[in-house]
Amino acid sequence: MPVQVKSAEEIDSMRIAGRLAAEVLDYIAPRVRPGVSTGTLNDLCHAYMVGEQGTVPAPLDYAPPGYKPYPKSICTSVNHQVCHGIPGDRILRAGDIVNIDVTVIKDGFHGDSSRMYYAGEPSIQARRLVDVTYECMWHGIREVRPGAHLGDIGASIQAHAERHGFSVVREFCGHGIGRRFHEDPQVLHYGKRGAGLRLEPGMTFTIEPMINAGKAAIRELADGWTIVTKDHSLSAQWEHTVLVSANGVEILTRSAGTPSPPS
């Protein structure tokens, strides 16, 4: 499928879906604490989405080719889990870091965002990984403008991660988003400046770098979804859905509780 340019009406719908996804992340923030299970976080988010927002949790029963249907409404990826962690009986302990990834569907359009949370006090090393990963996402976002190339985003993210001695996960990437959860283009979090698709106003896609404290290699668990670092090093991820605007970039997954950009 070619990369779509969204109409003004479609962009209005994407703004709404994006804000709603971000508001789920706001809602769950104070509930991420030692002693809570990831399954409880899922159930709370599910009830908020369906009951309060009137949104559909896009992950639930999502089954891309080669995957079995995803069984829950959000992804919770703890410590050395990279992404797609399935919520369940696991109880968060003080010092855990957890990514919560929320994708909602509202009026046929998707909003996709994730943030990192701390259960209790993280180690200095964990906090540094989480902060640098947030900066990586923002380095990517700051490259977005008409005429820029996708490779500019990847190159900027990769340079920042590697400058801090961290590594970029290669197997998963950002993606176009709209009426479908995952559309073209693929937004790699590594690459070469000037390479790849030229951005045009009206394109909507995610930037969602997964950064490992150790080596980049990953493996998939037997549940068919959860991705972990091969060397068991910590991994972090942040995600926004963005729009290429007439003269730059607009963050679509913004809410009252969205963390501010790094200085």
Give the residue with the Cβ less far from ligand MF3, 152 or 239.
Answer: 239
Which residues contact ligand MF3 by CB under 6 A?
59, 62, 70, 75, 84, 101, 103, 112, 206, 208, 225, 239
Give the residue with the Cβ less far from Co ion, 16 or 231.
Answer: 16
Rounded to a whole number of angstroms, the minimum distance from the CB of residue 121 to ligand MF3 is: 27
Using the rule CB under 5 A, is 101 a contact of Co ion?
A: yes
The binding track of 203-232 with respect to Co ion, each residue x by CB under 5 A or -, is: ---x--------------------------
Using the rule CB under 5 A, is 183 a contact of Co ion?
A: no
Cα separation, 211 vs 137, whole angstroms: 10
What SS3 state is found at 72?
coil
Rounded to a whole number of angstroms, the minimum distance from the CB of residue 20 to Co ion is: 14
Cα separation, 263 vs 261, whole angstroms: 6
208: nearest Cα among 32, 62, 77, 53: 77
The binding track of 105-124 with respect to Co ion, each residue x by CB under 5 A or -, is: -------x------------
Q: What is the size of the binding site for Co ion (CB under 5 A)?
A: 4
Cα separation, 111 vs 103, whole angstroms: 5
Given ligand MF3, Co ion, none, residue 62, with its beta carbon under 5 to 8 Å by kind, binds ligand MF3
CA atoms 209, 215, 220, 221: torsion sign: negative
Q: For residue 77, what are the β-bridge partners?
A: 99
Rounded to a whole number of angstroms, the minimum distance from the CB of residue 66 to ligand MF3 is: 12
Q: What is the DSSP letter of 60?
A: T
Strands 240-244 and 204-207 come out as: antiparallel
Rounded to a whole number of angstroms, the minimum distance from the CB of residue 112 to ligand MF3 is: 5
Residues with Cβ within 8 Å of residue 205, at least 6 apart in sequence: 174, 175, 176, 177, 183, 185, 187, 241, 242
Given Co ion, ligand MF3, none, residue 44, with its beta carbon under 5 to 8 Å by kind, binds none
Give the residue with the Cβ less far from ligand MF3, 77 or 79.
Answer: 77
Cα separation, 60 vs 112, whole angstroms: 14
Q: For residue 91, what are the β-bridge partners?
A: 37
Cα separation, 259 vs 248, whole angstroms: 20
Shortest-Cβ-distance residue relative to ligand MF3? 59
Give the residue with the Cβ less far from ligand MF3, 74 or 234.
Answer: 74
**Segment near Co ion (CB under 5 A); pick from 10-18, 184-192, 199-207, 226-234:** 199-207
Binding site for Co ion (CB under 5 A): 101, 112, 206, 239
